[in-house]
């Protein structure tokens, strides 16, 4: 049989396609190499292909593959890059290697593959007989390279990839300063980079950081500024630089070293300044800005309890290289820490929406600073009296022991509600807890909040799009019949439901102050509302959207690295979540810190006085911030609580099942089996519309824990508390006397 050339080629192409299974892409590791060789960021490729950055991360990790037109476009990009940046030939065996090259070659096997952001230590050759200090990673041998020389081995993943995008910050956002066994001061950076540190004092360390270390992070928004470099000082570094390894009780309470300390005097002589927080666990050392350029370095001192164990676990005990990678991953995905996770959460809001921007050139061609639209501005605004916490200066004329009720005080808080089990629920075998992922972040997503000062109005017409605080009587609301859709109503057992209007789930008894999301939900349920008065904010916007997006992406990327992908069937999701914390303890710490950044940042919006010698009626330090906004915090909490109630109502209307306890973002149901799938309605893999859905995305739910019904009834009887909130203990079942004081 004779074939024409075109037919032969087509036949061969068909065979290749059959073997290949379609369009072939390079191996995941090669995709990363090609992008890095071209100096392209994941964000740039994502924008060009019209996908999210998380998709590029998944493609480079081999967890997912593009499809359709994007598959062909991505293949074409990689093919073009391969022509421009071919795989480098291996070096000749006879070529002599320097100690630095030897270290790099040894580091290469630790490169765990695309998407692996687990901390990696650069292996090195130590001197014969040298023994590393207990609990510390192996240190480079005494190859005292000049400060500009560094190990360039990098682990795959965002902590090392994005750091190199800006040559000013080639070594990433942070460095852990430590001493090797030969007495050499070293800076451990993200991705296995290690720098020699010539500085002999804190002032010279600051100078070196700003002039040679190439540390920092690009700005997060157009009008913003790059993040200042962060130095983490180990105990050995503290001793070398004349700082105490631990603070005294007096210093710990003050949160800083005394002004007379020799290191503070050294900084003053070198014309460096400290912020008002002084030289404490988190310190900022700076010189006043000149020509809009600032000179500032941050210090983090773990042994002074800078890293709260509630959020950072045992990170302070990690070897320097691992601590650098862990903090670098957080910094790259969220931002360079500015203090506690709460402080960082608040600072992230400002970094994404700076208060000012450069104006257009005037007649003389000069630019000036002007208000940045969509930001909170640079000046604080007064809160409404109902929004002020007790002791606020706006309430100074109230009688000394006056207790404000709901008609005087806005009290939007998360749920803390429970009820006795019904007879039918007691016949069930298990109590199953489900927890909303990143619930408060989801509550902030798409929420319109006030940007400026409130305006007082009387007898207003309620507008669900207008943020503010409203005095409304919702005592007529009857949960036995509620609206669950357009022209669709449901009859419910009101006694088995918490009220959506109060944190304890009690029914309102008269007029009370509510944030806009709460009143809007009352309207959604079908109730008439007639506000008596309100404090509304006509200057408003979706201020928290960028904040939510940043934290959502950080959370999803880290959970994906832990083997929990998004958008998978519920059974696969539950299986992926089972034991995910043990897969990489370091990344688990990053997840914990991201969650704490959300809750802590929102909490800082209504920060109370702490250790300032404060008396009721006097201002406290936080009030001077434009980000002291109790109304924004109240709106987010109100929306989070009503989001939970909406799902509970949808679930009850469809299944006849009601929660027995709710604590913030956790709800507990009685069920016949141990899994959430034993009571969550799924049909052909699809959840109840508007109800609870299993998944990793913010707003979806995960399995929090399962205990027996006998356990629940037993601890309630033990503590003689028939309405003890079982959601508080559902995770591991442990209850102590201290825990039960409700």
Residue 93: pLDDT above 70?
no
Of 79, 131, 97, 185, nearest to 108 by C-alpha is 97
Q: Is residue 618 pLDDT above 70, yes or no?
A: yes
The better pLDDT of the pair 658, 721 is held by: 658
pLDDT at 217 over 80: yes
Query: Which of 110-124, 165-179, 357-371, 657-671 comes out lowest in average pLDDT?
Result: 110-124
More confident call, 257 vs 738: 257
CA–CA separation, 471 and 571 (whole Å): 45
Closest by CA to 531, choosing from 456, 606, 603, is 456
Among 30-34, 50-54, 394-398, the minimum mean pLDDT is found in 50-54
Which of 38-42, 65-69, 218-222, 530-534 has the highest mean predicted lDDT (pLDDT)?
A: 530-534
- Structure tokens that stand for 196 in this block: 């020699």
Pair of tokens at residue 675: 């899994």
Cα-flanking dihedrals φ and ψ of residue 519, to 5°?
A: -65, -40
Q: What is the pLDDT of residues 370-391, one digit of tens each?
A: 999 999 999 999 999 999 999 9
DSSP, res 535: E
Closest to 627 in 3D by CA, of 319, 338, 210, 257: 338
State in words which class domain 13-84 has.
mainly alpha
How far lies 328's CA from each of 58, 116, 216, 489, 628, in Å?
A: 20, 13, 11, 51, 28
- Candidates 303, 353, 307; CA nearest to 330 is 307
At residue 738, does pLDDT exceed 50? Answer: no
Instruction: Say what the pLDDT of residue 112 is.
Output: 37
**CA 700-702-707 angle, 5° bins:** 145
The pTM of this model reads: 0.79
**DSSP, residue by residue, 101-159:** HHHHHHHGGG---TT--S------PPPTT--PPTTSPPPPPS----TT-B-----SSHH
Q: How confident is the model at residue 10 (pLDDT cuts 50, 70, 90)?
A: low
pLDDT confidence tier of residue 8, bands split at 50, 70 and 90: low
Distance between CA atoms of residues 710 and 552, nearest Å: 38
Question: What pLDDT is recorded for position 404?
Answer: 95
Q: What is the three-class DSSP state of 265?
A: helix
Sign of the C-alpha dihedral, residues 303, 309, 311, 315?
A: positive
What is the pLDDT at residue 220?
Answer: 94
CB atoms within 10 A of CB 359: 12
Bridge-partner residues for 708, per DSSP?
A: 430
Dist CA 196 CA 200 (whole Å): 12
The pLDDT, as a whole number, for residue 56 is 85
Q: Is 480 in contact with 492 (CB distance < 8 Å)?
A: yes
pLDDT bucket at 292, cuts 50 / 70 / 90: low
Condensed to tens digits (0 to 9), the pLDDT of residues 423-442 reads: 999 999 999 999 999 999 99
Q: What is the pLDDT of residues 451-471, one digit of tens each?
A: 999 999 999 999 999 999 999
Report the number of secondary-structure helices (H) and strands (E) in the chain.
22, 24
Q: What angle is formed at CA 388 by the lines to CA 384 and CA 392, rounded to 5 degrees?
A: 120
Confidence of residue 553 (pLDDT cuts 50, 70, 90): very high
Which tokens hold the place of 693? 């859905």
pLDDT for 89 equals 58
Average pLDDT of every residue of the chain:
86
Is 90 exceeded by the pLDDT of residue 657? Answer: yes
Contacts of 293 (CB under 8 A, 6+ apart): none
Cα–Cα dist 313/58, whole Å: 27
| Reported confidence tier of residue 92, pLDDT bands at 50, 70, 90 | very low
pLDDT at position 613, please?
82
Tokens encoding 642: 């009503």
Burial track 27-48 (b if 16+ CB lie within 10 A, e otherwise): ebebbbbbbbeeebbbeebbee
Domain residue limits, the chain = 13-84, 114-120+137-339, 385-413+444-541
Instruction: Name the DSSP class of 703.
Output: E
């Amino acid at each position: 049989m004779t074939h024409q050339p075109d037919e032969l080629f087509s036949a061969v192409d068909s065979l290749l396609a059959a073997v290949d299974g379609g369009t072939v892409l390079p191996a995941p590791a090669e995709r990363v190499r090609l992008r890095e060789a071209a100096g392209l960021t994941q964000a740039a490729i994502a924008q060009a292909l019209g996908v999210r950055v998380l998709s590029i991360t998944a493609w480079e990790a081999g967890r997912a593959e593009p499809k359709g037109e994007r598959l062909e476009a991505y293949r074409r990009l990689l093919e073009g890059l391969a022509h421009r940046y071919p795989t480098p030939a291996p070096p000749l065996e006879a070529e002599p290697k320097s100690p630095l090259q030897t270290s790099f070659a040894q580091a290469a096997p630790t490169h765990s593959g695309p998407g692996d952001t687990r901390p990696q230590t650069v292996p090195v050759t130590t001197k014969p007989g040298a023994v590393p200090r207990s609990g510390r990673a192996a240190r480079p041998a005494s190859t005292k390279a000049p400060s500009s020389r560094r190990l360039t081995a990098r682990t795959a993943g965002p902590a090392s990839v994005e750091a190199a995008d800006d040559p000013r910050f080639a070594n990433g956002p942070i460095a852990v300063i430590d001493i090797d066994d030969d007495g050499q001061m070293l800076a451990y950076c993200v991705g296995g980079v290690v720098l020699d540190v010539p500085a002999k004092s804190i002032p010279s360390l600051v100078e070196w950081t700003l002039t040679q270390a190439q540390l920092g992070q690009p700005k997060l928004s157009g009008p913003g500024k790059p993040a200042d470099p962060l130095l983490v000082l180990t105990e050995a570094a503290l001793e070398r630089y004349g700082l105490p390894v631990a603070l005294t009780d007096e210093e710990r309470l003050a949160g800083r070293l005394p002004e007379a300390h020799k290191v503070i005097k050294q900084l003053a002589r070198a014309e460096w300044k400290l912020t008002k927080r002084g030289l404490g666990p988190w310190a900022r050392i700076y010189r006043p800005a000149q020509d809009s350029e600032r000179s500032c370095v941050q210090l983090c001192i773990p042994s002074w309890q800078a890293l709260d164990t509630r959020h950072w676990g045992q990170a302070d005990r990690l070897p320097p290289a691992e601590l650098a990678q862990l903090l670098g991953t957080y910094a790259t995905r969220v931002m360079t820490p500015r203090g506690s996770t709460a402080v960082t959460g608040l600072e992230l809001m400002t970094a994404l929406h700076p208060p000012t921007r450069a104006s257009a050139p005037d007649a003389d061609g000069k630019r000036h600073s002007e208000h940045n639209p969509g930001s909170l501005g640079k000046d604080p605004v007064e809160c409404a009296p109902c929004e002020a916490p007790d002791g606020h200066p706006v309430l100074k004329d109230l009688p000394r022991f006056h207790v404000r009720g709901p008609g005087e005080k806005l009290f939007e808080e998360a749920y803390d509600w429970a009820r006795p089990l019904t007879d039918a629920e007691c016949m069930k075998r298990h109590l199953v807890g489900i927890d909303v992922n990143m619930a408060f972040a989801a509550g902030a997503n798409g929420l319109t909040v006030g940007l400026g000062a409130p305006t007082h109005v009387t007898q207003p017409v309620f507008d669900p799009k207008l943020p503010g605080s409203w005095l409304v009587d919702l005592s007529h609301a009857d949960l036995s019949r509620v609206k669950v859709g357009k022209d669709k109503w449901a009859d419910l057992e009101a006694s088995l439901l918490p009220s959506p209007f109060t944190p304890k789930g009690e029914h309102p008894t008269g007029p009370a102050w509510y944030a806009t999301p709460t009143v809007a939900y009352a309207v959604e349920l079908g109730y008439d509302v007639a506000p008596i008065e309100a404090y509304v904010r006509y200057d408003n916007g979706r201020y928290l959207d960028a904040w939510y997006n940043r934290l959502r992406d950080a959370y999803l990327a880290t959970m994906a690295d832990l083997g929990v992908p998004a958008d998978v069937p519920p059974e696969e999701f539950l299986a992926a979540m089972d034991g995910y914390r043990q897969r990489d303890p370091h990344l688990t710490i990053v997840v914990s810190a991201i969650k704490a950044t959300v809750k802590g940042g929102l909490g800082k919006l209504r920060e109370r006085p702490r250790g300032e010698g404060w008396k009721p009626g006097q201002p406290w330090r936080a009030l001077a911030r434009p980000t002291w906004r109790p109304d924004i915090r109240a709106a987010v909490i109100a929306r989070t609580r009503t989001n939970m109630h909406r799902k509970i109502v949808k679930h009850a209307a469809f299944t006849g099942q009601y929660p027995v306890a709710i604590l913030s973002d956790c709800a507990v149901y009685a069920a016949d089996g141990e899994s959430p799938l034993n009571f969550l309605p799924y049909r052909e893999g699809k959840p109840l519309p508007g109800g609870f859905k299993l998944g990793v995305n913010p707003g979806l739910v995960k399995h929090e824990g399962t205990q027996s019904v006998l356990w629940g009834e037993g601890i309630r009887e033990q503590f003689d508390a028939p309405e003890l909130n079982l959601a508080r203990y559902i995770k591991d079942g442990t209850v102590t006397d201290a825990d039960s004081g409700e």
